[in-house]
Amino acid sequence: MDPIPCVLKNIKLTIALATDHGRHLTITPADTTEEQAHSVFMDAFIQNNRLDHVSQVMGYHPDYLRNFLTTQNYLLREDGPLPYDYRHYIAIIAAARHHCTYLVKLHEQDFLLHNGNPEWLKGIQHAPRKIQDLYEINKILAHRPWLITKEHLVKLLKSSEPWSLSELMHAIILLTHFHSLCSFVYGCGISAELDIDGFTYSRSGSSGSDSDSNSDTNSETGETTINHVLQLLQDDASVGLEALMEKMRKLNENNSEETSPEELLKRFQSVEHQSAEIAVPSTKKSPPKSEILRYVIDEEYTYTDFVTQDKVSEVPTFRACDYSWDDHGFPLANRLYTDIGNLLDDKYSMAANLTYYTMGDNREVDTTSFRRAIWNYIHCMYGIRHDDYDYSEVNQLLERNLKAYIKTLTCYPERLQKKDYDGVMREFKHSEKVHVNLMLMEARQQAELLYALRALNRYMT
The catalytic residue positions are 100
User: Using CA atoms, how far apart are residues 109 and 85, in angstroms rounded to an integer?
Assistant: 11
- Cα–chain-centroid distance for residue 373? 17
Q: Beta strand pairing status for 384-385 and 318-319?
A: parallel
Contact 20, 226 (CB under 8 A): yes
Answer for the pair 196, 110: CB distance below 8 angstroms, yes or no. no
Write the secondary structure of 327-373 as one string of H (helix), E (strand) and C (coil): HHHHHHHHHHCCCHHHHHHHHHHHHHHCCCCEECCEECCCCHHHHHH
Distance CA 438, CA 418 (A): 20
User: Please, which residues have CB within 8 angstroms of residue 287's CB and are 6 or more apart in sequence?
Assistant: 211, 293
User: With contact defined as beta carbons under 8 Å apart, do 455 and 85 qualify?
Assistant: no
| Residue 212 identity | D
Radius of gyration of the chain (CA): 21
Distance (Å) of CA 116 to CA 74, 179, 339, 439: 19, 22, 26, 33
Residues 6+ apart with CB under 8 A from 14: 193, 194, 195
Q: Comparing C-alpha atoms, which of 439, 151, 451 is closest to residue 329?
A: 451
Q: CA-CA distances (angstroms) from residue 422 to 96, 251, 387, 426? A: 27, 27, 33, 8
What number of helices (H) and strands (E) belong to the chain? Answer: 19, 4
CB neighbours (10 Å) of residue 161?
11
